[in-house]
Amino acid sequence: MNHNVMKLEVLWQMERLVELLEGKMRVLDALDRDSESSDCMDLHDQITAMMDQHQLLADVIERSKRILHVGN
């Protein structure tokens, strides 16, 4: 197994983790938006920042995979 294959495997694993994280952020967002709670929307800014950074991470993983595929 060459290094590029191993790098791709790690990137695929990271991609799966990012997908799991997205699901957890959706749950957190839903809990934060519950209008029945007295602390509704108290994490809105933090959740928005998490989602923005999550997208940046997903994008860089995708770019990295494309770079490695080009070389193979």
- Say what the pTM is: 0.88
pLDDT in tens, 27-68: 999 999 999 999 999 999 999 999 999 999 999 999 999 999
Does residue 2 have a pLDDT over 80? Answer: yes
pLDDT tens, 37-46?
A: 999 999 999 9
DSSP string, the chain: --HHHHHHHHHHHHHHHHHHHHHHHHHHHHHHT-TTSTTTTTTHHHHHHHHHHHHHHHHHHHHHHHHHHHH-
Is 26's pLDDT higher than 80?
yes
